[in-house]
Structure 1
Amino acid sequence: MHSLQSYKVKSLRCAVVKPSYPVSVVAQHAVELREYEEKDPQRCLTVLLLTEDSDKEYLDDLRNELEGAINERQIQYGTLCFILLSCRRSHDPEKKCKESPLQNVSVTHKLSDQEKRKFSGKQKALNKKYDFNFILTFVLMSKGFSENYVQKFVKHLLQGINRHSVECRLIRYVALLNTYVQNSFISQSHCEALLALKFDSERFRRHEFERSLSDQAKLVFLHLRDDKTHIQSIRIIHPLVAKEILQQLLEPQQTQSSLAMDLLHEDVLFEHSLETDDYLTFLRLLFIRRSRITEEDKYFLSLFSPFIEHVRGTEESPNKAIELLKEAFERFYNDAYFAQQLARLHYTYEKFEEAKNWAETAVKQLPDNSYILDTKGQVYKKWFQAKCKTIENVPKTAQNTADAVETALKALDCFQECQRAADAEMQHVNTSGFYAEVEVGLGLLKLIFSLQVFANRSNGHSECMKYLTSDYIPVEVKDAWEPFHDHLKKLCQTMKDTLERISEDLSYFQTDIDADEEETPEGPEGKIRHPLKWLAIKSSEYGKYFSEAFSAAVLQHRKSIPANLTPFQKRMMIYHLGGGNITSILYKITDQKDAVKLLELILSLYPSNPLKAKFDQMDIVNYIATHISLNCLSPQNQKVAPLKVLQALRHQFPYDKRKCLPNALFLLTLLFWPEDDDTEHEREKKYQIVQTAVEHLEKGHRTKMKDIPPWKRRIYTHFFLGNGSGLDKFVHKNKLIRALSSITKLSEKRMQWFSGEAFETPEIAAMLKHVSGWTKDGLVYLEGPKEKKFNIRPVNAPSVPQSNENITFYLGFNFRGPVAYNIVVTK
């Protein structure tokens, strides 16, 4: 089992994972280790797998492979087969532990007084057997890696070193990489090339290489050997030591940026490298691998790599960072990602013309990469914001705003191009272009409405709306904005479409289930931290611009709705009140401040007799969702329509369900879920409607998932089937989450849901209805009309018993169809 280094500890079999092997190989070896010399696969010892500094994707893939192996062997559900223990180096382990105490344990360099005494005693014992220089790491550990001790330790270690030697230069290079790039090293052959060493015998090559090093280098370097490739390499004995060496070995006038520039000019190291060499990988990561920032149990990426952040921050010289990235761009054969970083760096310091040139350079090389197209859009977005700032305190005319308007429109074009590229990418999801388009669009609307021609007239707001939504062009803007009129008149509709697209994506996948970690260096500039709240705010802001004149009074004084509003004005006011899309409507169940009153106002904007009104499909969806949300917050509210009225609205959905919106299909699965007192004929009819909706939801889900494994994009369940009837039988997930109010950390709540422990909470169990069914060949069925099978997808596949059993479960509703939670075999 080459991919594992195994041990046996009492009731566990333990192994250290070698991440150089594919997860499929590791999983196979882990299963073989578990079953080694065991007769019954159901009764094997649990295997503890230790991984070191593995990224999240590797761990997810490994977990999925192990789950597949468990299912394949039909191991009884609930049997603990594998424990994954992930050890990751962190700059702030105690903070990370506090953020998620159920998942993380902090192991720091600090020792307790008792541990210090034990380490001190052990060191005395080791000193009798080994020379001090052979137990350096142990000595550092026994001192708790205190900053003061490390400084003295390194100063003593480097005493007498020739600072002008090539060997000292090598130590600096390795220290630079080890300080900023986790697990980095330089191969022995690269060291030999730099030191101009040649050996006649391959057999004793490592021995001869070590002999050629000075005493200081022998103590500083840790020698490694890859078990798979057998490549020999070196790194500094510990990252904290590397960091201190870097500080102490720099010449008085030398900076880390100048050292990195020297490293880029070391021709011999590049000439010795192949494209796949680890050395080039580590050097590339030094310049462009962005670090993860933890905040409120979520992960975000810094804009630049830690090293570039140091150069532009600590050395207070953005020009130095720019010079470095330019040199790296050329050294790495005009790599598009270095050009992307240069664009970001330039616009950060408002050097927009240069930023534009570098963004275009990156796009020329990778024209279909959505992240690079996003960066180009960000250049124009930041440029637009800067231009708006310069005219912030002056009267705005068509003439002095034309330049800003043109820049905003260029940004919108870039983000729309980014969206098209993102839709075509099958291996990952990039929604940054949609969010950025909305932000630029709202900024542009703010600028347009602030023009003197509109802002200083009593009917200016209405005239501005007329300009944006009709063929009308005011004389004051006709010539100065001549190139923009067509584009601006599409702004209202394109923003509406983009907001709806964001809403649809969030209806499928919400970030409070799985904190996706975008680790690609070319990733988006910054993820939206609270997308549900962001969408609610931006949708309302969008509606405000087209309804402000009459909706402000309604919101402020809770006045009744004016009777003479046009359908367009009503729709925009619904947006302003928070009812423009299904995601914002359902979000009101979570964000409950004034939610009941707002939902009632939204309903008052719809026709009093909806069955006779002419709705478009989106209006019907929002109307039904508003009733469901209001009923969740205010059961028995007189303004909530009866279930039969909402069911009757289905006739206004397209007869051809391929033309139905996903949220319309989702609502059909809710509205037509059978009641206990339904006749057999009613149940048959309802199940048929639900089953047809589910078939088309499945197709839409497959499109949304692309080629991304399901465990990387977990679909969100909005409602659960409760014990009530009518609309009261739907329990929103937020109500269940509030029952776990004693658990404050999001990650802990996730664990409760994924493990099924949440459903054992008495408060939650009391809300939900047990549904009866059975399993056959690993599938879950619920009894449909006339004994027809109705397949229900389980949320957790391993929870399905392999044998054919009668079961009960809780039923959830998401944008893929009904799902089974907490499957229990009926005794």
Structure 2
Amino acid sequence: MELTVELTVEEMLKKMLSSEYSPKKPKSPKMKLFSFLAMLNAYDPEAYLLMSECQQILGPPDPIHGGPPFEKRMEPFIDFINISGPSEHKCSIYQVFAKSAVNELAALGLSRSATMKEFMDSFCGDQIQPHIFRFIKILLTTRGLEEKGREKFSRLISDIQEKENFHKAVSVLKSASDKLTGIHIFPQTISRLFYIKGGIIDYQKAEEWAKEAIRRAPKNSYVADTLGQVHKNQFLREARQHDEILRKAKVAFRVFKDVEVKADEEVSPDMVDSAGTESISVTFNNRGYFGFMQVANIALEKLSKFKPNPSLNHSFIQEKKMEVEAKFAFFQWYLAYSQPDMKSLEPSYFWKDVVLCYEMYTTKKATDSITFAGLLDSLNRGLFTSKGRRALFEEHQETVSHLEGMQGFLKANYEANFDVKAAEMYILSNIILSNKMHNSPMLTPVKELQAIIHRFLDTEKRCRSPEFYLLVLLLFWSDRQPQAVQEEEDEEDEQQSTEDDLSEDTTWEDEASDDDQETREEPGQFSLDRLFDPNLQEYVTLMEQAFETTRYAKYLRGRYLLPLFFLGKGSGLRKWIHKSKLDAIVEEKVDAELSDEQEERTKEKWRRIHEMWITGDVWRIQEIQDILSPINVVPCQSPLSPQDHKMVYVLAGGKKIEAKTRVDDDSAPGPMPSYLGFTIQGPLVFRVRYPHMSGQ
């Protein structure tokens, strides 16, 4: 039945438009207005024209001067026009009708490009209305999202290229650029047309238009990146001879350095001074850093195929090696601590290009890089959701023996250097090893680790890193479970311990002995707890301050901060569950669901895993509930909370500690189960929704 209705509508439109429009006759005002509304709503369902703007197109006589009403003047189109608005009426067309109308008009000879240019001629005067500018920008420059990222161009520009030709698309954008001379995005889009595959490649014109965009927005790093992309693509496709490779690489490096500098100078909207002189960016633009790595990759690949003088190649490598290492380290923590937002990830090629560049210039394995973020990420390796697997690297899960060897190496390094960074790495290696094998004989007792970090607690408090305070909180967080779950924990403890021991080929007595190593005091020694009872709220505050004053607040702004550890059921190091354990459980559950669905399995697996985190279904998986410890929280009113978070108090060891939780406008009244996680910024509470709810 629906198909019949659609066909009837299309037939009605076709008959009506063919009777009202002919390329051989002047276009009537009502035909002109209808074509504008159809164009707007075919590509932006929220677009509209005010009634006064519609009357402007129709011309005199206006109804207020005795002319016929709008509905009469727009016959026979009026049945397709929606008029709404409490004060000044807004006119629009439902998108399904608008799309059909645009197609029918194009078939009759009224092209999309001609309609769009005529629309701009009609409304882009000296004082363009903000809503008109917004609609033009959406139609010509807003790119939709697809599975592999954003589309190359807006739907309208893509349709003009496909259904008309490349030059018509350029012409429409040139018209917008000429009429809106202070706006950078139109020349920027023209530049992209000239260098992206699928169009007519012309790097000279691409460079000219990119420079025009930069002239209009000289401080904008994203505009500067367009010029970088022009040079990178030209370098990739055209550089052949050795000298040409070096010359074009130098130019591309210089342009991406400019992107990097401008990105470093940009600030978030809430940091703009009263004069508003800063360049604003909600997120940090990483394209300068990433563009450098891509150009370095291309250069070395080209030089390796053309070797008139090996010493020159070696000199080139040595010149760029330190910067490659620095940028690899940047992306290592950047991707370990965050992702673009909760619903999206970096493209799969992103980490691949970074790793290949690092390994080519250093001849080291990226997985052997010993950094805090690298060690933190080690437990993700081999999982379906890991960066390496997404980049199509052959990757295996870390073994206990390798992690024990790493812990031994970092212990020796700490004992030899006795500095805070060495201490951080040594402590983290124990937490990571505990997640892999909680009763490894190599594990250092918690009291000893507490004593190590205690040595640094009262010195340089304002100069420590978020990583340092993360470890402080993990080591000193109370082992006492909330009273509501303590009895259940007591009942399950012996059975759970026995199951864990059987899986590790140990006995129940061995486990008891291991626990004693973490909790009992040696004869003649004072308990560290008696000497030092840390104020965890102070260290939560210091961690947040460290996040704000170090590079992280700047470079991770606007991104979703990933939970790194969760509070689990256990004591000592065992109570901290690395996120990879949850990922592994989710992956296993999705694998079971997909056992009989082989076609498009990888894509569907990704979708389902991602969806479970977005909707909060992960918290309702029994295996995850079995390892995480529910927490008690109470509301906390804080005017300083970011808009996307609200504050709560977490009850730990009889004390109230502030933690963020995601703002949830649809929160159910009454108590909800909650779990505690830690991001690089501090504690974050995850609220468990009931099955009919969604989100975090």
Structure 2 length as normaliser, TM-score?
A: 0.72
Question: How far apart are residue 324 of structure 1 and its match?
Answer: 1.6
Give SS of 1:303's match: coil
| Among candidates 575, 589, 593, match of residue 742 of structure 1 | 589
2:28 is the counterpart of 1:166:
yes
2:78 is the counterpart of 1:234:
no
Give SS of 2:659's match: strand
Give SS of 1:406's match: helix
Q: Where do 1:296-695 residues align within 5 Å?
A: 300-315=149-164, 317-348=165-196, 349-387=200-238, 390-391=239-240, 397=242, 399-423=243-267, 426=270, 428-433=282-287, 434-447=289-302, 452=307, 468-469=317-318, 489=319, 491-511=320-340, 514-515=342-343, 528-530=346-348, 534-535=350-351, 537-538=352-353, 540-548=355-363, 572-573=364-365, 575-577=366-368, 579-580=370-371, 582-583=373-374, 585-586=376-377, 588-589=379-380, 591-592=382-383, 593-597=395-399, 599-600=402-403, 603=406, 606=409, 609-614=412-417, 621-622=424-425, 624-637=427-440, 643=446, 650=453, 655-674=459-478, 677=519, 681-683=527-529, 687-688=533-534, 693-695=539-541
2:659 is the counterpart of 1:793:
yes
Q: Distance in 2 between matches of 1:376 and 1:289?
A: 19
Question: How far apart are residue 308 of structure 1 and its match?
Answer: 0.5
Contact 1:166–1:194, Cα closer than 8 Å, also in 2 = no
Give SS of 1:224's match: strand
**Kindly tell me: are residues 145 and 328 of structure 1, through their superposed partners in 2, closer, same or farther at Cα, counting changes over 3 Å?**
farther
Question: How far apart are residue 357 of structure 1 and its match?
Answer: 1.9
Amino acid across the alignment from 1:501: F
Question: How far apart are residue 414 of structure 1 and its match?
Answer: 2.8
Q: Distance in 1 between matches of 2:201 and 2:561?
A: 40
**Kindly tell me: are residues 158 and 325 of structure 1, through their superposed partners in 2, closer, same or farther at Cα, counting changes over 3 Å?**
closer
Q: Distance in 2 between matches of 1:369 and 1:412?
A: 13
Q: Distance in 2 between matches of 1:771 and 1:822?
A: 10
Amino acid across the alignment from 2:382: D
**Kindly tell me: are residues 276 and 674 of structure 1, through their superposed partners in 2, closer, same or farther at Cα, counting changes over 3 Å?**
same
Corresponding position of 1:275:
128
Q: Distance in 1 between matches of 2:410 and 2:578?
A: 27
Give SS of 1:363's match: helix
Give SS of 1:795's match: strand
The one-character-per-residue Cα deviations of 1:672-727 (angstroms, maximum 9, x if unpaired) are: 445573779523666528555423221144468979999x7553321122234443
Amino acid across the alignment from 2:112: Q
Contact 2:536–2:657, Cα closer than 8 Å, also in 1 = no
Q: Which runs of 5+ in 2 are unaligned?
A: 271-280, 384-394, 481-518, 591-604, 638-646, 690-696
Q: Where do 1:74-223 residues align within 5 Å?
A: 116=1, 143=3, 145-146=5-6, 148-158=7-17, 160-163=19-22, 164=25, 165-167=27-29, 168-199=31-62, 201=64, 207-213=68-74, 215-220=75-80, 222-223=81-82
Q: Distance in 1 between matches of 2:237 and 2:202?
A: 11
Amino acid across the alignment from 2:254: K
Q: Distance in 2 between matches of 1:401 and 1:293?
A: 34
**Kindly tell me: are residues 636 and 544 of structure 1, through their superposed partners in 2, closer, same or farther at Cα, counting changes over 3 Å?**
farther
Q: Distance in 1 between matches of 2:422 and 2:355?
A: 16
Q: Which runs of 5+ in 1 are unaligned?
A: 1-115, 117-141, 470-488, 517-526, 549-571
Contact 2:649–2:659, Cα closer than 8 Å, also in 1 = yes
Contact 2:336–2:377, Cα closer than 8 Å, also in 1 = no
Corresponding position of 2:651:
782
Question: How far apart are residue 312 of structure 1 and its match?
Answer: 1.9
Q: Distance in 2 between matches of 1:620 and 1:382?
A: 45
Amino acid across the alignment from 2:331: I
Corresponding position of 2:568:
722
Q: Percent identity?
A: 18
**Kindly tell me: are residues 813 and 291 of structure 1, through their superposed partners in 2, closer, same or farther at Cα, counting changes over 3 Å?**
closer
Question: How far apart are residue 444 of structure 1 and its match?
Answer: 3.7
Give SS of 2:12's match: helix
The one-character-per-residue Cα deviations of 1:98-137 (angstroms, maximum 9, x if unpaired) are: xxxxxxxxxxxxxxxxxx4xxxxxxxxxxxxxxxxxxxxx
Q: Distance in 2 between matches of 1:617 and 1:450?
A: 45
| Among candidates 667, 677, 696, match of residue 812 of structure 1 | 677
The one-character-per-residue Cα deviations of 1:724-760 (angstroms, maximum 9, x if unpaired) are: 444333211231243344356245423553xxx6445
**Kindly tell me: are residues 372 and 761 of structure 1, through their superposed partners in 2, closer, same or farther at Cα, counting changes over 3 Å?**
same
The one-character-per-residue Cα deviations of 1:267-289 (angstroms, maximum 9, x if unpaired) are: xx444x84335334323322122
Question: How far apart are residue 310 of structure 1 and its match?
Answer: 1.1
Contact 1:293–1:302, Cα closer than 8 Å, also in 2 = yes
Question: How far apart are residue 366 of structure 1 and its match?
Answer: 1.6
| Among candidates 692, 698, 704, match of residue 544 of structure 2 | 698
Contact 1:775–1:781, Cα closer than 8 Å, also in 2 = no
Question: How far apart are residue 361 of structure 1 and its match?
Answer: 1.6
Amino acid across the alignment from 2:460: D
Amino acid across the alignment from 1:281: R
Amino acid across the alignment from 1:816: Q
Please identify which structure carries the higher helix content. 2
Question: How far apart are residue 576 of structure 1 and its match?
Answer: 4.8
**Kindly tell me: are residues 707 and 664 of structure 1, through their superposed partners in 2, closer, same or farther at Cα, counting changes over 3 Å?**
closer
Contact 2:170–2:190, Cα closer than 8 Å, also in 1 = yes
Corresponding position of 1:107:
none
Q: Distance in 1 between matches of 2:633 and 2:85?
A: 53
Cα RMSD (Å) of the superposition?
Answer: 4.2
Contact 1:582–1:622, Cα closer than 8 Å, also in 2 = no
2:245 is the counterpart of 1:245:
no
**Kindly tell me: are residues 580 and 637 of structure 1, through their superposed partners in 2, closer, same or farther at Cα, counting changes over 3 Å?**
same
The one-character-per-residue Cα deviations of 1:162-185 (angstroms, maximum 9, x if unpaired) are: 533323233323322222222323
Question: How far apart are residue 232 of structure 1 and its match?
Answer: 3.1
Q: Distance in 1 between matches of 2:614 and 2:535?
A: 34
Q: Distance in 1 between matches of 2:64 and 2:85?
A: 20
| Among candidates 254, 258, 271, match of residue 114 of structure 2 | 258
Question: How far apart are residue 793 of structure 1 and its match?
Answer: 1.3
